[in-house]
Structure 1
């Protein structure tokens, strides 16, 4: 289970569990926290309606509020029994209240509007991670916006998404793929970094000093 929505729900679950100071007693060891959160998140997630599983900013009108979801009948008995037996909550009603808080936080995050992309500016290039002068790369190139919307590749709210790249990394991205391919297949930094050529470039570029020339020039053997 690795959908973006589930991972967001899991983080909301962790926040609720950690905020309750009995969590250390429940897990026994901080190294067990991940497994404990994963288990409870999966149990809680399984009882939620499909509209919550697929919650996004675009679908927000169809996503019920936390207090509109019938958690009492939908929640897994294993979820409530585990929380009660480990002393994280006192009873079944308390377990449902905890889950409702998780659902409320998850819905707010999943249905939040996309960021104002100019506010996402970083100090380091998002590919080579050097702290150098940056440019912004339209992850969905402007030249294909009309086609992207017409083909239904992305929602219009995604058209302004950008990544902050140094000029060499920016040029490399456009060198390895055409605008249509970038828009359809590589519209996030994470997707770009899955490319082998970008990974190789990243390793090379991250070692280069900005604004300086090497003292020695490589010459091929004759």
Structure 2
């Protein structure tokens, strides 16, 4: 069992998240172990540039309003529950 560094839930598997995306020069910068739903939600809500510039630490992510609402919800979900990730309207429009 693993513990997600973002939501704090105990889950069966965590994935490695580059706090500064590799595409933005983060290949050798700090990383965090996140559960799959949290990892997907981060990339659904934010662009890689936004992650690199202002959300490149776990505390910065936890303080952001968009992910904070999600974290409040996901913390109540069992670590074995499969959840769907939805893109925020503002992220959809940036494509």
In the aligned structure 2, how far is the partner of 1:185 from the partner of 1:159?
18
1:168 corresponds in structure 2 to: 37
Q: RMSD of the alignment, in Å?
A: 1.9
Aligned counterpart for 2:65 among listed residues 183, 192, 196: 196
Measured in 1, the distance between the counterparts of 2:4 and 2:45 equals: 18
The offset of 1:211, in angstroms, is: 2.6
CA distance in 2, matches of 1:180, 1:162: 16
Relative to total residues, which structure has the larger helix share, 1 or 2? 1
Deviations 1:6-32 (A, max 9, x none): xxxxxxxxxxxxxxxxxxxxxxxxxxx
**Cα distance in structure 2, aligned partners of 1:188 and 1:208:** 24
Gaps of 5+ in 1: 1-122, 149-157, 214-222
1:58-96 alpha-carbon deviations (Å, 9 max, x no partner):
xxxxxxxxxxxxxxxxxxxxxxxxxxxxxxxxxxxxxxx
Greater strand content:
2
The aligned counterpart of 2:89 is none
* Equivalent position of 1:140 in the other structure: 20
Superposition deviation, residue 209 in structure 1? 1.2
**Number of residue pairs matched?**
80
Judge conservation of contact 1:140–1:159 (CA < 8 Å) in 2.
no
> 1:68-217 maps to which residues of 2 (within 5 A)?
123-132=2-11, 133-145=13-25, 159-212=28-81
Question: TM-score normalized by structure 1?
Answer: 0.34
The TM-score, its normalising length taken from structure 2, stands at 0.75
Conserved in 2, the CA contact under 8 Å of 1:125 and 1:134? yes
Q: Which runs of 5+ in 2 are unaligned?
A: 83-95
Stretches (4+) displaced over 6 A: none
Higher relative contact order (CA 8 A, sep 6+): 2
Q: Indicate the structure (1 or 2) with the bigger Cα radius of gyration.
A: 1
